[in-house]
Structure 1
């Protein structure tokens, strides 16, 4: 079977994708290529890149908005529950742990 091809757009200053299993560096490729379980459950429409994918000019990396600012993306979530939701979502998607995106690149 022929592998599927997908084009994603990543910020020019984003760090390169780490090796599979290496520490997350905020390259954003995972969220640009496919919605995570949190996004699929709570964000609509299910587009790529994920609409909660946030670029940080200061840190020169991507962040998950569902982890850093959940109430910004889930309008019905009170801001005082951001810390709780953030911990829950971070654990649910194993954010900032290891790279779990197995992709091949072509230029």
Structure 2
């Protein structure tokens, strides 16, 4: 029997794309579980990622958008390199890899 998880996202967030389609900032994957980068750097193990940020009209990764908010010891000069490495580590731009299925409230 498959388990179910409820995540709450903004009603104006985009719908989750199909696996393999370009990311549209729906936030489903980050709301369902922390990514490997969040687990490693923020020590977050379950539930929504604390770095998930709403930036209308989509969700964005706070570790990429505002890394020093979440990693205050990161020097300002290191931000561009950190962003580059994080995008590569998370395969940003390579399509949706979330296997989560979604449904709206009845």
Partner residue, 1:95: 92
More off after superposition, 19-28 vs 69-78: 69-78
Matched, 1:48 2:47: yes
Partner residue, 2:17: 18
Across the aligned residues of Structure 1 and Structure 2, the Cα RMSD in angstroms comes to 1.3
Task: Report deviation, 1:65.
Answer: 0.9
Matched, 1:65 2:70: no
| SS of residue in 1 equivalent to 2:53 | strand
Matched, 1:33 2:36: no
What stretches of structure 2 of length at least 5 have no aligned partner? none
Q: Provide the rounded CA distance (Å) in 2 between the counterparts of 1:72 and 1:103.
A: 28
Aligned length in residues? 104
Deviations 1:23-55 (A, max 9, x none): 110101010001111001000333421011110
TM-score by length of 2: 0.89
| SS of residue in 2 equivalent to 1:62 | strand
TM-score by length of 1: 0.89
Task: Report deviation, 1:103.
Answer: 1.6
